[in-house]
Amino acid sequence: MKFANESAALVQNRDTLQVEMGVMTNASTLQQSAAPGLDDYGRDLHEWPSSWMGLPKDLVPGEKMVAYFRPFLEHLIDLGLSRKTIRKHVDNLWVLGGEMIRDLHATPSLRKVPIETLVFQVIQDGGPILYHNDSEQQQQSFESTCNKFRRFLEESQNLAPARRRWK
């Protein structure tokens, strides 16, 4: 009987921990604060726009792209994917941003298109063919990220304004 009471007490206390100062806190809150965040995978995210920039006018579209990518990156972390997998997607999104800025230089009229619409259109069929492609494996990895990002946007109607406008 004593064992059953101890088990019940453990079950009852698993969600709450007593901290040294007598303050009660929720265990899941402690786990969340220790969980890795976006900064653990993309510390240089704020530097992406300047790394893509060829001209000063590239900075604003670059910043908008980073803001558009951020919810997807946070979603990947929430899925509990491995650090290596998330890092692969982070790297591929950096490449996508660079390709998009290159496209803005090649076709200046694209600057009139909202970034969200432009990105959504470009990733429809797995993203663009990489300009600086080292291997077929790199292209496949890039396409995988673009496809995953597209599915995320399609499932998140509020993040895909281009999709809503065309329905």
- % of residues, the chain, pLDDT over 70: 68
pLDDT of residue 17 exceeding 50, the answer is: no
E-strand stretches of 19-79: 24-26
Q: What is the DSSP letter of 19?
A: -
pLDDT of residue 19 exceeding 70, the answer is: no
Q: Say how far apart CA 141 and CA 135 lie, in whole Å.
A: 10
pLDDT digits (tens, 9 = 90+) for 39-88: 666 668 999 999 999 999 999 999 999 999 999 999 999 999 999 999 99
Contact of 89 with 47, CB cutoff 8 Å: no
> Can you give the residue ranges of every domain in the chain?
1-35, 36-166
- Say what the alpha-carbon torsion angle 79, 85, 88, 90 is, to the nearest 10 degrees: 20
Assigned token pair, 135: 């291997």
> Token pair 């206390």 is at which residue?
13
Instruction: Check residue 152 and give its pLDDT.
Output: 96
DSSP characters for 93-123? HHHHHHHHHHHHHH-GGGGGS-HHHHHHHHT
